């Protein structure tokens, strides 16, 4: 568990401690010797012998360490919306933005944009029959299911099971998995990701002309699959989980079952959403298909062909979900630094302050501290506020700490639908999520290559640091659609998402990939995502300086960023006037 008082840890002598331990210890020491407020902390940079001063004014490694340690402490209880952890987080951010010299970002003169949420805590029962015989199922181990409908009781009874391949309707790729079959009232089983269509010119590759080859399109995201199921009138949808294509292990989708989940407080109570949505484990699907006299691997192979048609299974599914409902007024925290030449045009930095909260049913550690995800990005917003307040850019900069990203990008979606400043004057969004804590790198990873001209600004800024921009290693995991910038992109605002590099200075060639794999396997969305003693935040400083440089290039340019040909967002999009 994260420890509030790092100075009280049993550690070796100070000079033998890790760099991260030294930073945190001195941060706490500064607090104990008179630095009792966030204002004093931000205005009095902390130093220790051997810690280099930041190259960019306003971005300070020791302050970053303290912000992360505070936001990821047990006192903040995992920063879940609607809990005391939210109150602590919003208060901390408000005070930190003010101390950094950033003005309130809401036109009403405050730092908060209210985000109305509804919390749903579900008790779920799931049953399936194949050929008239019950299929043994264990909730959480085999299947998870919930609803986004704001109703106390949701029932689906004896819904016919249908395997629909990837569940995609994509006219631009001349692809339709449904072939006109009526899906009303059915329970749809869908493969995760896009159709994995073989490249006719390379047996071991994917067709780059169909769904961008290896790179995931939005059709591969589970959010799309829920949306298409609702559009077609299905009663339920279960996405088939396979760790490789999904990009995360089964525990990521199963561990939160029974905990409170949030949705935006819509006027229609989300009656337009599919009644039941969830995931089913691939090993469970193999048992199901075997009981139905079918071969799962053969069905998967058929699903990548143009002539695939849905397969009706000799079985039914039933669901009953009882919801405990509470309404929550959550908050985005927003600060603004006015531009010196074009103050009405904005560059928006986003990072989500929320995480997964606390699970009191667990033995031992119960708190999902979210140190990497996303205390790092939230701390980065505070430091960028400091940098731009000290030296304003030509266009205005908005620092937007959004709520409920972990619940489905809800805070960003609310802002995009209810912008405090017109999206037509929002020239760019730069997002920060789960940032680098392992040291400086020679490169930086671009997520979602080929989207917009912000990529060119990133390349130029990286060159100024002596770094190169590289493609993401696993574009099939669809990271461009998995964080808050996506809500801006959907509404036509060019959005940039860059992640830490893979070639770490002074480390072996495999160090970066190894650390990422260890984080995903051991810490991602787990109680173990805590501040670690071996962290090296010099890479976080480096990345923040890079993103600051990108924003300053955009702010000084006579034109504005544009979508590139071939981007799914290059078509005309709806922006607010």
How high is the pLDDT of residue 112?
Answer: 98
How high is the pLDDT of residue 571?
Answer: 61
Q: How many whole angstroms separate alpha carbon 301 and alpha carbon 321?
A: 34
Percentage of the chain modeled with pLDDT above 70: 89
What is residue 258's three-state secondary structure? Answer: coil
What is residue 161's three-state secondary structure? Answer: strand
Tens digit of pLDDT for each residue in 147-199? 999 999 999 999 999 999 999 999 988 999 999 999 999 999 999 999 988 87
Lowest model confidence (mean pLDDT) among 34-43, 68-77, 352-361: 34-43
Number of H helices, E strands in the chain: 15, 22
Name the residue with higher pLDDT: 555 or 211: 555
Q: Is the pLDDT of residue 309 over 90?
A: yes
Name the residue with higher pLDDT: 470 or 33: 470
Tens digit of pLDDT for each residue in 277-295? 999 999 999 999 999 999 9
Q: How many whole angstroms separate alpha carbon 20 and alpha carbon 28?
A: 12
DSSP per residue, 542-556: HHHHHHHHHHHHHHH
Give the residue among 408, 373, 417, 364 at the shortest CA–CA distance from 523: 373
What is residue 118's three-state secondary structure? Answer: strand
Are 152 and 269 a contacting pair, CB within 8 Å? Answer: no
Name the residue with higher pLDDT: 565 or 176: 176
Tens digit of pLDDT for each residue in 390-416? 999 999 999 999 999 999 999 999 999
CA 176 centroid distance within chain: 28
How high is the pLDDT of residue 574?
Answer: 46
Q: How many whole angstroms separate alpha carbon 352 and alpha carbon 400?
A: 8
How high is the pLDDT of residue 248?
Answer: 83
What is residue 535's three-state secondary structure? Answer: coil
Query: How far are the Cα atoms of 114, 115, 149, 346, 415 from residue 418, in angstroms, in the given order?
Result: 10, 10, 22, 16, 5
Are 224 and 408 a contacting pair, CB within 8 Å? Answer: no
The mean pLDDT value for 508-515 works out to: 94
Tens digit of pLDDT for each residue in 239-249? 999 998 887 88
The residue count of the chain comes to 577
Tens digit of pLDDT for each residue in 516-531? 999 988 999 999 999 9
Tens digit of pLDDT for each residue in 529-548? 999 999 999 999 999 999 99
Are 403 and 114 a contacting pair, CB within 8 Å? Answer: no
> Domain spanning 6-101+338-556: which superfamily?
Zn peptidases (3.40.630.10)
How high is the pLDDT of residue 7?
Answer: 29
Q: How many whole angstroms separate alpha carbon 278 and alpha carbon 185?
A: 16
Q: Which residue has the tokens 């908060």?
A: 112
Name the residue with higher pLDDT: 568 or 300: 300
Query: How far are the Cα atoms of 70, 286, 401 from residue 250, in angstroms, in the given order?
Result: 30, 15, 28
Q: Which CATH class is domain 118-325?
A: alpha beta
Are 316 and 128 a contacting pair, CB within 8 Å? Answer: yes
- 57 pLDDT band, cuts 50/70/90, is low
Tens digit of pLDDT for each residue in 61-118? 999 999 999 999 999 999 999 999 999 999 999 999 999 999 999 999 999 999 999 9
Q: How many whole angstroms separate alpha carbon 2 and alpha carbon 530?
A: 6
Q: How many whole angstroms separate alpha carbon 139 and alpha carbon 254?
A: 9
CA 179 centroid distance within chain: 33
Element (H, E) at 242: none
Q: Is the pLDDT of residue 41 over 60?
A: no
Q: How many whole angstroms separate alpha carbon 332 and alpha carbon 260?
A: 19
The token duo for 97 is: 């933005």
How high is the pLDDT of residue 244?
Answer: 84
Domains 6-101+338-556 and 118-325 agree in fold:
no
pTM, two decimals, is: 0.82
Lowest model confidence (mean pLDDT) among 11-15, 210-214, 363-367: 11-15
Q: Is the pLDDT of residue 34 over 50?
A: no
Residues paired with residue 536 on neighbouring β-strands, in sequence order: 438
Sorted by where each begins, the domain ranges of the chain are 6-101+338-556, 118-325
Percentage of the chain modeled with pLDDT above 90: 76
Q: Is the pLDDT of residue 361 over 50?
A: yes
Lowest model confidence (mean pLDDT) among 53-62, 348-357, 419-428: 53-62
Q: Which residues contact 501 (CB under 8 A, 6 or more apart)?
A: 436, 441, 442, 443, 444, 445, 467, 470, 512, 539
Q: How many whole angstroms separate alpha carbon 286 and alpha carbon 293?
A: 10
How high is the pLDDT of residue 214?
Answer: 82
Q: How many whole angstroms separate alpha carbon 403 and alpha carbon 80?
A: 9
Within 147-275, strands assigned E span 153-163, 169-170, 175-176, 187-191, 198-199, 202-206, 236-241, 261-264
Q: How many whole angstroms separate alpha carbon 489 and alpha carbon 481?
A: 9
- 451 pLDDT band, cuts 50/70/90, is very high
Q: Dihedrals φ, ψ of 545, to 5°?
A: -60, -40
How high is the pLDDT of residue 206?
Answer: 81
- 211 pLDDT band, cuts 50/70/90, is confident
The mean pLDDT value for 35-64 works out to: 48
């Amino acid at each position: 568990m994260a420890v509030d008082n790092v100075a009280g840890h049993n550690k070796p002598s100070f000079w033998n401690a890790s760099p991260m331990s030294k930073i945190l210890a001195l941060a706490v020491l500064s607090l104990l010797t008179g630095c009792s407020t966030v204002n004093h902390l931000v205005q009095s940079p902390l130093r220790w012998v051997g810690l280099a001063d930041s190259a960019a004014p306003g971005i300070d490694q020791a302050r970053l360490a303290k912000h992360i340690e505070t936001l990821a402490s047990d006192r903040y209880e995992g920063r879940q919306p609607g809990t005391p952890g939210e109150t602590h987080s919003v208060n901390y951010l408000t005070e930190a933005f003010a101390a950094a010299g950033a003005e309130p970002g809401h036109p009403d003169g405050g730092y908060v944009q209210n985000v109305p949420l509804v919390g749903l805590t579900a008790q779920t029962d799931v049953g399936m029959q194949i050929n008239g015989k019950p299929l043994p199922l264990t909730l959480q181990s085999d299947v998870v299911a919930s609803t986004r409908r704001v109703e106390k009781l949701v029932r689906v009874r004896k819904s016919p099971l249908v395997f629909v391949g990837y569940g995609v309707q994509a006219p631009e790729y001349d692809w339709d998995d449904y072939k006109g079959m009526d899906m009303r009232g059915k329970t749809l089983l869908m493969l995760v990701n896009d159709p994995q269509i073989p490249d006719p010119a390379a047996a071991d590759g994917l067709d780059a002309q169909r769904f961008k080859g290896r790179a995931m399109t939005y059709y591969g995201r589970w959010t799309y699959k829920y949306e298409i199921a609702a559009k077609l009138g299905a009663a339920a949808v279960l996405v088939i989980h396979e760790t490789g294509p999904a990009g995360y292990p089964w525990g990521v989708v199963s561990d939160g079952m029974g905990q409170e989940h949030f949705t935006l407080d819509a006027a229609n109570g989300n009656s337009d959403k599919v009644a039941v949505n969830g995931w089913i484990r691939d090993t469970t699907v193999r048992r199901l298909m075997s009981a139905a006299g079918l071969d799962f691997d053969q069905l998967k192979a058929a699903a990548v062909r143009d002539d695939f048609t849905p397969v009706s299974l000799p079985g039914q599914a039933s669901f009953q979900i009882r919801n405990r409902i509470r309404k929550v007024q959550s908050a985005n925290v927003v600060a603004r630094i006015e531009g010196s030449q074009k103050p009405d045009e904005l560059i928006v930095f986003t990072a989500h302050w929320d995480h997964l909260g606390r699970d009191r049913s667990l033995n031992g550690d119960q708190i999902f501290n979210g140190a990497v995800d996303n205390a790092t990005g939230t701390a980065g917003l505070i430091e960028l506020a400091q940098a731009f307040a000290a030296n304003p850019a030509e266009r205005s900069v908005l620092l937007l700490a959004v709520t409920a990203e972990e619940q489905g990008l809800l805070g960003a979606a609310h802002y995009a639908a209810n912008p405090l400043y017109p999206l037509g004057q929002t020239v760019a969004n730069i997002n920060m999520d789960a940032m680098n804590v392992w040291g400086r790198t020679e490169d930086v990873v671009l997520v979602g290559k080929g989207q917009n001209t912000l990529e060119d600004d990133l390349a130029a800024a990286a060159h100024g640091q002596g770094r190169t921009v590289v493609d993401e290693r696993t574009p099939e995991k669809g990271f461009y659609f998995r964080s808050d910038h996506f809500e801006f992109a959907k509404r036509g605002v060019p959005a940039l998402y860059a992640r830490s590099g893979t070639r770490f200075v002074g480390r072996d060639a495999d160090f970066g990939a190894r650390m990422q794999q260890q984080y995903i396997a051991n810490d991602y969305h787990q109680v173990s995502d805590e501040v670690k003693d071996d962290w090296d935040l010099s890479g976080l400083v480096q990345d923040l300086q890079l993103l600051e440089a990108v924003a300053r290039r955009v702010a000084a340019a006579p034109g504005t960023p544009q979508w590139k040909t071939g981007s799914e967002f290059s078509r005309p999009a709806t922006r607010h006037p």
